[in-house]
Every structure is written in C-alpha cells, then in structure tokens.
Amino acid sequence: MLVVDPEAVDLHQLVRLAGQARTARSDAVALRLWEQALALWRGEAFAGLDSEWLAAVRTDLDQRRWAAMLDRNDLALRQGRHGALLAELTAAAAACPLDERLAEQLMLALYRCGRQGEALTHFDRTRRLLVEDLGIDPSPPLRDVHRQILTNDPALHAPAAVDTVETSAPGDEPADPSRVAAGRCPTQLPADVSAFTGRVEELSHLDALLHAARSREHRDSAEAAAVVISAVSGTAGVGKTGLAVRWRTGSGTCSQTGSCT
C-alpha cells in the first residue's frame, strides 16, 4: 500500500484551503486562501483515464472547483475587483450559461464597469435560456440584481475602498482599527514562493529601508509623513515578484495589501 503525505495531494490541499477560507475572519484572508485553492487546478482531472469511479471523482472535483470559484468571485466583487475579474467571469458564463449565481456576478461586474446595457442584455439572454432549456423563470436573486441595475440602485455601486488588512492566518486576531488606513487598496498579491532561496543581500537592503521608514514614524516632523517607495527592477523572469512577495511575507508587521503590476 502506498502511503502519501496528505499535503502532497492537491485534493487534500484544496479541501483544507476551502475550509480555512470559509472560516477566515476577514475577506482579505479568505480571498487569498480561495486564490491558493484555485491555483491548484491544472486542467481536467485524470485526463486520459476513464472508469465509472474516476468519472464520479472527476465530477466531484469539478463541482468543488466551481463552488470555490463562485465563492472567490463574491469576495473579489465585495473588495471592488470587478475590473480584474470581468474577463474570467465572461469566459465562465459562456461555458456555463445556466448558472444563475454566475450570471449575477457577471451582471454586477459589467454594471460596475459602466456597461449597464451589456449587463441587462446578459440577463435577457440568461432568462431566455432558462425558459427554453429548463422551462423555468430566473430566480428571485437574479431578478433582484436585474431590477437594481434598471434603477441604478446605490447598493450595487463598487466599494470606494477596502478598509481591512490581511492577516497572516485565518485564526489571527483582527487588525487594530486604529492602524487601518482609510482608502487602503485591496489585497491582490500572489502567494509566497515556498522554494525561494538566495537574495540575502537584496532582502537585507529592503529590511533596512523598512526599518528606517518605521524609525521616522516616531519623529515629530514633516519627514515622518513622507512615503518611502522602493522599486525592484530587472529583466523578465529574473524573480522580481518572488523577491517582493518573500520580503513582504517575512517582514513581520509590514502591511500585506497592494497589487502586483
């Protein structure tokens, strides 16, 4: 009998990450966990293999992935990431046009991107498919989103800012509200690279810059309010993102919000 560490099996990792995401104390932490779970998906499970048992397992995995994607979408939309999510929502809706929860998410993203007409058109298309293929009308939640779009309901407007700071683990205590800056951008950073090695000199230099910036915070002067910006440059593929994320992860109380461009 082959004995395998559960953490070496991506299915077990998916189940663990999904459970942590559902019990996370903040949207930022939950979103990061959902992103990690979805990143485990690398195409069709058991591709090229066929049996009744494998077909059932494949279906179960597909359903788990789809549920994780929908939960991730809700969190991302709640954090104002409609623009970044729009292309993926459009592709998913084309692949599964009868999923009403997905239709709600796509309509909301389109509306927030200033494409109200396309959002209404998608509702009409979804309603027609539901009637023609299933003989049913749209569900109340989907009809509610349609009505809100028609009336420009303020409840659909994108959040102006995300005021939560991502914690390092789902069980951590919430951040001190006095330390949360208004207008903080949502967490859109990739996960840390587990196999990261080297770059000791660069990491030490970034640590020194952070230490100097924190020291200035305690000074009663205009200099204390200055923003320190550090840029990591290099050719494509040299590991700039990996370096930045590793330093972010290992910098202790350093804020873990922002985006990678």
Q: Residue 237 — very low, low, confident or very high, per pLDDT cuts 50/70/90?
A: low
* DSSP secondary structure letters along 31-69: HHHHHHHHHT--SSTTTT---HHHHHHHHHHHHHHHHHH
Mean per-residue pLDDT, 55-61:
83
Domains of the chain, each with CATH number or no CATH:
6-156 (1.25.40.10), 189-259 (no CATH)
In sequence order, the 6+-apart residues with CB closer than 8 A to the CB of 89 are 73, 102, 105, 106, 109
Indicate the range of 55-69, 85-99, 218-232 predicted with least confidence: 218-232
Model confidence, pTM:
0.57
* DSSP secondary structure letters along 213-247: HHHHHTSSSGGGGPPP------STTSSHHHHHHHH
Above 60 in pLDDT, residue 45? yes
> Hey, CA dihedral for 256, 258, 259, 260, is it positive or negative?
negative
The Cα–Cα gap between 72 and 137 comes to 26
Q: Of residues 204 and 181, which shows the higher confidence score?
A: 204
Mean per-residue pLDDT, 25-53:
81
Above 80 in pLDDT, residue 252? no
